[in-house]
Amino acid sequence: MEIKKIGVVGAGQMGSGIAEVAILSGFSVVMRDVSEGAVQRGRNRIVSDLERQVKKQKMTAGEREKVLARLSTVTQIDELKDCDFIIEAATEQVPLKGEILGFSTR
User: What confidence score (pLDDT) does residue 87 get?
Assistant: 95
Strands (E), the chain: 5-9, 28-32, 71-74, 85-88
In a domain, 106, yes or no: no
How far is residue 73's CA from residue 46's CA, in Å, rounded to a whole number?
A: 12
In a domain, 20, yes or no: yes
In a domain, 28, yes or no: yes
Three-state secondary structure call for residue 59: coil
In a domain, 22, yes or no: yes
pLDDT tens across the length of the chain (106 residues) = 899 999 999 999 999 999 999 999 999 999 999 899 999 999 999 999 999 999 999 999 999 999 999 999 999 989 999 999 999 997 666 555 556 655 555 5
Phi-psi region of 23 (alpha: psi -120 to 50; beta: other; left: phi over 0): alpha
Work out how many domains the chain is built from and give that number: 1
Q: How far is CA 7 from the centre of its chain?
A: 7
User: What confidence score (pLDDT) does residue 59 get?
Assistant: 97
In a domain, 29, yes or no: yes
Helix 61-69 to helix 36-55 angle (10° resolution) is: 150
**Structural domain harbouring 91:** 5-101
- The enclosing domain of 40 has a CATH number of 3.40.50.720
